[in-house]
Amino acid sequence: MPLYINYPSWLSPQIFPGVKFLSLFRWYGLMYVFAFVTAFLVFRKQTKQGALNTPDHIVTDDDVFSFFTFTIVFLLIGARLFSVLIYDTTTKYLTKPWLIFWPWDENGNFTGLAGMSYHGGFVGGLLGMIIWCKRHKQPVLKWIDVMGVSIPLGFTFGRIGNFLNGGELYGRITTMPWGVLFPKAPLFSRSIEWVNEFANAAGLPEGTGLVNLPRHPSQLYEAFFEGIFLFVIFWLLRKKKPFDGFFLAMYATGYGLVRFIIEYFREPDADLGYRIAIDKDAPTYLNQSLLNLSTGQILCLIMIAAGMTFFTVMMIRKKKRTASQATTIKSSDKADLAASQKAGKSSRSKKKQK
């Protein structure tokens, strides 16, 4: 019995493959549009519920649109720069830096902004939100919190886009029944004993040549856990946050943790391999040790550490503020009591004089 799923042969990265001009439109780009629109709608719903209103300012749709536009520009810049600086192993961008944001390759073929780093988008988007809030004199952490609740559901479409884009960012090989034969994945020679055994265990047809082994659909794992799963949790907690900045800490920690775990099922970039490994010759298509860490996992550890540190600092500040307020109230109560006692003595004194 086959323990795998064939990647749909009719599915192309282009929405209208083979159609002149229309072939420029890709599922990946469309999913980005869906992602931004979804996040925008979730953000807008929260503002309609008064999440960002202050005594001095009622948030309008123009505010939300301006905030989103500014943030998206910075997000795209950060995502592209991180992709070039951290993940690209060629030197072409050093000699031709204009290609970083140029949607055509050196041969004039339209590629869009090929190569985007999530962690770069996170840093760029965060910077954009801070700058916008400072320029418009809005409470930074409140706005970032609302965005933190909005992002995950939109992120779901981004990972679906990876799946539709020819099955990029595929996972490691597996014999699980939901393993997928991705067309872009490298082939293995069936003459190698372990490959033949693995292929037989997955129920692949007998053969002697090259074989495509089923892999974890890690894009879909990420779409669910980094998207839908985190969104449900954040949405349920959105009105119960203990301090402003709570969802910034929660998002950095939550996304970092979930992504870190899923990276064990996702194959690292072949040209980068493991950044930290107990065995530098360990194959990337197999998870042989939890101590072999990819670039994405290292960046996730930084996110987790930053999120937890920020959470701890904000909780300490909240406790100090609460303690200070309690002390002020006690002092006020004592002053009121003293004033009341003094007034009582004065009243009794006047009665005696009469």
pLDDT one digit per residue (tens) for the chain, 354 residues: 677 899 998 888 888 887 877 777 888 889 989 999 999 999 999 999 999 998 888 999 999 999 999 999 999 999 999 988 888 877 778 778 877 887 777 777 766 677 789 999 999 999 999 999 999 999 999 999 999 999 999 999 999 999 998 888 999 999 999 999 999 899 999 999 999 999 999 999 888 789 999 999 999 999 999 999 999 999 999 999 999 999 999 999 999 999 999 999 999 987 888 999 988 788 999 998 999 999 999 999 999 999 999 999 999 999 988 887 777 666 666 656 666 666 666 665 555 555
d(CA 326, CA 148): 31
**Nearest CA-CA partner of 66 in 128, 154, 140, 153:** 128
SS3 322: helix
User: What is the CA angle 323-240-257, rounded to 5?
Assistant: 100
pTM for the whole structure: 0.87
d(CA 263, CA 244): 30
Give yes or no for a contact between 132 and 63, defined as CB atoms under 8 angstroms apart.
no
**Lookup result for tokens 């780009």:** 29
Determine the angle formed by the axes of helices 27-48 and 140-164, rounding to 10 degrees.
150
